[in-house]
Structure 1
């Protein structure tokens, strides 16, 4: 929210519970107009929504709010501004999703007044699910139960809800984790420092991960320089807003003039959005849908395509905002521009030229969406997919071409991390897998495998034989992982490998791996395996898992022959499952000590 500080004043906070009378609103504030600033998807370079930013003709918004506080009409003014924003967006003819700023106190103490906003949106033909209410501070003096109840009411009506100004305001974490929030918007103070302060960038990266795991979207406001944008893209941020991309404009825009920074998205050397272990989600490539009611005529669809030259489809919605049919641009134009096409179709229902929409949810990954595309047949390969929320309402569309590009970029990123000798992923991929399992809260194991005396192998039979030994071990690990779903293997350099698997897979995997006799140019070779059992809640990160695994590896290397030791994150107990302890001369006459067997 551009005018964040205008709303976040102590005087406003101290009076926010002073509710105005719920009377008739005669007209929107006459001295306030609105500018519209786009929210841009970095994965596609397209606008996903427009935020309505209030612009008073004279003075500041702070003064307007101060007067409202004195008149005990703060919540009334807040909703009046929201209504005015919706009206101006309708007058501008935009069909893009709309973001409107509201005070948290209005939701907590005057939720009934939002019925007036409902009426304005209904008159404009805009369903609530196409509107995101960006909830702004102050929060600290509010009744949080009343706020949560109010948010629940708006959620039930279909509004999307965002938290504005995170990082500068006072939004409680309880609200962030309430399950009612669809969008988290980080404050411009974070964007300003992202490229210069490693701690700030690390915080943004953690918020990207949190939003992804929670099914929310994350946006960063106030991107004004190329350095900021580069840092945010490297952190995995997908939605940005700021003057570098596009300044607020009095006329709602449908596309941005792509700057030199955004044009780098198509270049291989440009920083890429970080790929998650399961691949990017379809929401990373979400485009606004161009909606029409199911009663629309073909001529109305033609006008929409003429007014929106970049749109590739029109979604026909039923009265509940759920997609009923989809009109593909190419198919439609072929039908209406052919011989007698206009005469045959213009005044008739567009449903005749529409098809069943292909629906995907916000939780689906790009790879899952491409499976749906592949099952559709070659004639449907490039038809848009419709993204729906948990209630089945249309959130937007995803173009098949963007999905293909997203998977290609993911594969390029994955290939860049592969070890050139074994073509196995490296440390980063295994670390992501460990952190994901830790977040899931399930028991699992991580194992470290290497070749005993590998330098001696290279020194005696040559580096070519050493490389082939490493390749053969990598192939064996790959084959084992292919036959045991859930096993993840990485080659972390030299003769070292990491293996992550479920707890019940550890014993059969270890046996399969260690029962094989290995050799290099006729020279017998043994290996050492160290495994750590990670119980839920006992290992904070992959860094800690690596730290605990290191002494287990040293203990396994101290044993003679092919060895295997297993430790636990819950105790200091270590089991030596394979290998022979070195014996001193005095020990050679003593009976062998009892060890665990496997």
Structure 2
């Protein structure tokens, strides 16, 4: 259940609206005084704030500042309620950094829709990876469950940049972020071109990605991703490392080690014939595949099918 703080003057929220929201599972806390509302935000922050513009003078702005400074929940969606006539003069959204507005008189069905939209928008925004802007773990799990429920044959593909930590140590986090973005763009561009229908692309975090496409497209897409990666990867390497075909860095035990140049590994699990029941089983199978494929030299993919594995290798060009 979502907890909704309603901050406004007496009678601000119509009884019909309150009845509808509670029927839809919202837990309402109505505050008519600023100190009570601020105390609630600081001590037991709600999931959403419905705020009347002009609430006890400048109390609306003071309550917004309290929400913005809330350490426990710094991203509470704020829906500002105002008179339609107030939109005739341009509002300063720097003073009112809210997420949405609704106008008086409050229409229960419209208010419900705006609250639900604010929650859905927040989930989308904060699920996205902050660097690549690709959907994150929650969306990835939903996409997996969707393809499993469909009963159709899909390929769930896990992409990993090999030896990324030592690369980061040698070249720095800024260059590492550039590589992460480069791989994300390659995946997006290839899938847009070759397997857009029914596809999904997500970013687990760091140098790990997941994409889901129809199974018959898996081999073609994996080959193209590796080809495109090999065409541009030298742009992110120093000339001396390219000439040496490797670079020296520290391994996980802190020992100096010679690492191969940038490459990627793709582990592919297909979902047809009801082989998997939930996303955890797919992740476990992909983990085993990835462990194997990452031990191979250069950029590689490995596709697990019901009775066999199909592998492919594209050696990184120096």
Q: Greater relative contact order: 1 or 2 (C-alpha under 8 angstroms, separation 6 or more)? A: 2
What runs of 5+ residues in structure 1 fail to find an aligned partner? Answer: 1-43, 50-218, 220-237, 246-256, 273-329, 331-380, 383-396, 581-598
What runs of 5+ residues in structure 2 fail to find an aligned partner? Answer: 1-16, 32-39, 50-66, 68-72, 77-83, 85-101, 243-260
SS at match of 1:47: helix
1:205-250 Cα offsets, whole Å, 9 max, x none, are xxxxxxxxxxxxxx8xxxxxxxxxxxxxxxxxx448xxxx7xxxxx
Instruction: Assess if the C-alpha contact under 8 Å between 2:20 and 2:108 holds in 1.
Output: no
Match of 2:262 among 508, 514, 525: 525
1:236-269 Cα offsets, whole Å, 9 max, x none, are xx448xxxx7xxxxxxxxxxx96579x9453374
State the Cα distance separating 1:468 from its structure 2 match.
0.6
TM-score by length of 1: 0.32
State the Cα distance separating 1:270 from its structure 2 match.
10
Match of 1:266 among 35, 40, 48: 48
Match of 2:19 among 39, 46, 52: 46
Instruction: Assess if the C-alpha contact under 8 Å between 2:129 and 2:136 holds in 1.
Output: yes
Match of 1:504 among 181, 198, 216: 216
Whole-angstrom distance in 2 between the partners of 1:476 and 1:400: 41
1:578 matched to 2:313? The reply is: yes
State the Cα distance separating 1:547 from its structure 2 match.
0.5
1:436-476 Cα offsets, whole Å, 9 max, x none, are 21122222111111112212322332221111101111122
Whole-angstrom distance in 1 between the partners of 2:132 and 2:216: 26
Instruction: Assess if the C-alpha contact under 8 Å between 2:128 and 2:135 holds in 1.
Output: yes
State the Cα distance separating 1:490 from its structure 2 match.
1.4
Change (3 A) 1:258 1:426: closer
Aligned residues: 211
1:552 matched to 2:289? The reply is: yes
Structure index of larger Rg:
1
Whole-angstrom distance in 1 between the partners of 2:48 and 2:292: 49
Alignment of 1:272-283 (within 5 A): none
Query: Aligned residue for 1:462?
Result: 172
Instruction: Assess if the C-alpha contact under 8 Å between 2:226 and 2:314 holds in 1.
Output: no
Change (3 A) 1:462 1:428: same
Query: Aligned residue for 1:491?
Result: 203
State the Cα distance separating 1:482 from its structure 2 match.
4.2
Whole-angstrom distance in 2 between the partners of 1:414 and 1:557: 32
Change (3 A) 1:512 1:405: farther
Match of 1:439 among 139, 144, 149: 149
Instruction: Assess if the C-alpha contact under 8 Å between 1:491 and 1:497 holds in 2.
Output: yes
Alignment of 1:293-308 (within 5 A): none
